[in-house]
Amino acid sequence: MFIYKYLTILGRYIMLMRRTFARPERMRMFFKQYVKEMAQLGVNSIGIVLLISFFIGAVICIQMKLNIQSPWMPRWVSGYTTREILLLEFSSSIMCLILAGKVGSNIASELGTMRVTQQIDALDIMGVNSASYLILPKILGMLTIMPFLVIFSSATGILGAYATSYIGQVLPPDDLTAGIQHNFVPWFLWMSIIKSQFFAFIISSVPAFCGYTVEGGSVNVGKASTDAVVSSSVLILFSDVFLTQLLS
Amino acid sequence: MIEVKNLFKSFEDKDVLKDISTVFEDGKTNLIIGQSGSGKTVLMKNLVGLLEPTKGQVLYDGRDFVQMSKREKVMMRREMGMIFQSAALFDSLSVLENVMFPLDMFSSMTLRERQRRAMDCLDRVNLHGAEEKFPGEISGGMQKRVAIARAIALNPKYLFCDEPNSGLDPKTSLVIDELLQGITREFNMTTIINTHDMNSVMGIGENIIFIYEGRKEWQGVSADIMGSTNERLTDFIFASDLLKDMRKMVIDNGLHIKKS
């Protein structure tokens, strides 16, 4: 029964995605929506991404200095580990987990409200492919904007680390710079961006499914919003394990 | 013309529509009336294709909507306009953008032409001056009028209205009724209205279908209601004691209802 239920949900999700990835009826309308979604979901998230990245970058640097650094290790080790953590996990996976909360609940509640107020029915009656019109721009918008968010996050995290160095005097800036530059592997940046693309798809399509398929009233919209955040977070964590293994 | 033939609709083991057969005529305001839960909305959803019948046919000018291909259904839907109970306006779009939406999606008009057409539709529903407002900033009656303007923007052949008067005061309801009847005559549309509103029934009902527990109980015109011997219909229409007394008085004195 449990498996049957989840297979049914998976089947409905796949069918919705099939409808979503249909050719838009009007490219002009699609691009209008696409730009709007990039601004709403991506550009409007830059603030929170920069804020969190800056402080987490600073905290990682302090923790590394206090707990990893020892006389037996080179002085650049704090900077090195800070960079690796930011690049490999924080800016892709953890940032996407945070965005799953912000963007996921936004998408699920928007589509859920449109469903219960019959706005989606109105689109269907007009002969518009409502799934493609509403969901496709969100998915493509997130996929487009996500690499920029990852790069901004990594850069701001490193700025946060420098802040602990210059303002907090936690470690000398030269040591931090040496660590950040030490044995840099450009593939790690690409790995982070590739991972974020998978996560961007999850945090836009799963909440869209939860919102689009809402039945009932406002209580169900709230429930769909919560389900969207929980489901996309769990899926991000699972896929992170596989992607890390696959790409490393 | 829309013809419904032996339509059944069930949800799991519950039969909501049972063997409905009727005709909705062109250029007339066709009303579907009945108690809450009688199956009116389900019937309308079957007509517009939001639900698929368990059995039976929905014929649009002789073509079975259920049997149409996906592409044919999309084309057919472009000939339909629908006004929902909640108006279902797009929150993120202004009044003008809402009315322009079907034109943006399906017409090959220039921006200027689309704007002009949308403004004409807004003028038709007496909503000049509200184009820049958002749905949340206007009253329920105005929202319904915007929904009507949006529904007629593409000159549809069929207009469906799901309880267009719900939540409106009697005076505004009258305005909406007159608007719907006027538009139906002006564009020779097949208009189908789901309603509870007895003023609408007596005022604009040119072809009335009474649904009782999922079955078609009665069909006729508003003038026939007063003298109808169908108890279920008269109990529904003249629900209060006051209305029952008035009906008795009208029948006893051989009076006729005069429509203005």
Rounded to a whole number of angstroms, the distance from the CA of A46 to the nearest CA of chain B is 22
Q: Please report the pLDDT score of residue A199 as a whole number.
A: 96
What's the confidence (pLDDT) of residue B240? 73
> What gap in Å lies between CA A247 and CA A28, rounded to an integer?
37
> Residue B68: which H helix or E strand, with range?
none
Identify the closest residue of chain B to A27 by CA–CA distance: B105
**In B85-197, which ranges are continuous DSSP H helix?**
95-106, 111-124, 140-152, 170-187
CA distances, A2 to each of A209, A232, B145, B157, B214 (Å)? 20, 19, 47, 47, 35
Output the DSSP codes for A167-223.
TS-SS-HHHHHHHHHTT--HHHHHHHHHHHHHHHHHHHHHHHHHHHT--SSHHHHHH
Q: How close is the nearest chain B Cα to the Cα of A50, in Å?
A: 28
A-chain CB neighbours of B106 within 8 Å are 25-26, 126-127
Residue B217 confidence (pLDDT) = 87
Give B136's contacts in chain A (Cβ within 8 Å): none
Q: Would you state the pLDDT for residue B56?
A: 92
The predicted structure's pLDDT at residue B260 = 44
Q: Tell me the chain B residues in contact with residue A113 when contact means C-beta distances shorter than 8 Å.
A: 91
The complex scores an ipTM of 0.82
Residue extents of the structural domains in chain B? 2-220
Domain B2-220 has CATH 3.40.50.300: yes
The pLDDT, as a whole number, for residue B256 is 59
- What pLDDT tens digit does each residue of chain A (248 aa) get? 788 989 999 999 999 999 999 999 889 999 999 999 999 999 999 999 999 999 999 999 999 999 888 888 888 999 999 999 999 999 989 999 999 999 999 999 999 999 999 999 999 888 899 999 999 999 999 999 999 999 999 999 999 999 999 998 889 999 999 999 999 999 999 999 999 999 999 999 999 999 999 998 889 999 999 999 999 999 999 999 999 999 98
- Cβ of residue A122 closer than 8 Å to a chain B Cβ: yes
User: For residues A139 and B208, what is the distance between their CA atoms, to the nearest angstrom?
Assistant: 47
Question: What pTM was estimated for this model as a whole?
Answer: 0.86
pLDDT at B233: 82
Residue ranges of chain B with per-residue pLDDT less than 70:
254-260
DSSP per residue, B119-135: HHHHHHTT-TT-TTS-G
Query: Can you tell me the distance from the alpha carbon of B210 to that of B142, in angstroms, rounded to the nearest whole number?
Result: 29
For A129, what's the count of Cα atoms within 13 Å in the CB-facing half-sphere? Answer: 22
Q: Where are the domains of chain A?
A: 29-247
